[in-house]
Amino acid sequence: MNFTMKFREDTHIFSIKKLLRERHGRMDDLKLCFNAFSEANEINDEMLTLLEYGLKGVQPEVKVDDEGHLVVSEDNIPTVQVYYDFKPPNSDDPILLHFK
């Protein structure tokens, strides 16, 4: 999936995983990695923040345009690619049907 989300550096990993679950539905064994999908990059501690994993944010630049309006420029904000993988929920569960 190709999509972009913005987070503050004090965002916990469990919050990111929760958003992914809301986007895709039920998931089993969700694996999350930054910059490359490899076992060495796998994020294991969901209680840590992005900053604690070494992802430091930058304050956006605020400028005043010719008309005196404040303009926020996010050109200097760092971008990190997040890779994730998951298994679909257990499909061996019986389907419960209710007939009338």
Task: Kindly list the domain boundaries of the chain, sorted by start residue.
Answer: 13-87
On the question of pLDDT at 99 being above 60, the answer is no
- Range list of H helices, 1-100: 13-24
Query: How far is it, in rounded angstroms, from Cα 27 to Cα 39?
Result: 19
Q: What is the pLDDT of residues 24-81, one digit of tens each?
A: 888 888 999 998 999 888 999 999 999 999 999 888 889 899 999 999 888 888 888 8
CB 46 within 8 Å of CB 93: no
Query: How far is it, in rounded angstroms, from Cα 79 to Cα 98?
Result: 49
CB 76 within 8 Å of CB 60: yes
pLDDT of residue 28: 85
**pLDDT greater at residue 56 or residue 88:** 56
pLDDT of residue 96: 58
Query: How far is it, in rounded angstroms, from Cα 47 to Cα 50?
Result: 10
Q: How is residue 66 written in tokens?
A: 């010719």
pLDDT of residue 32: 93
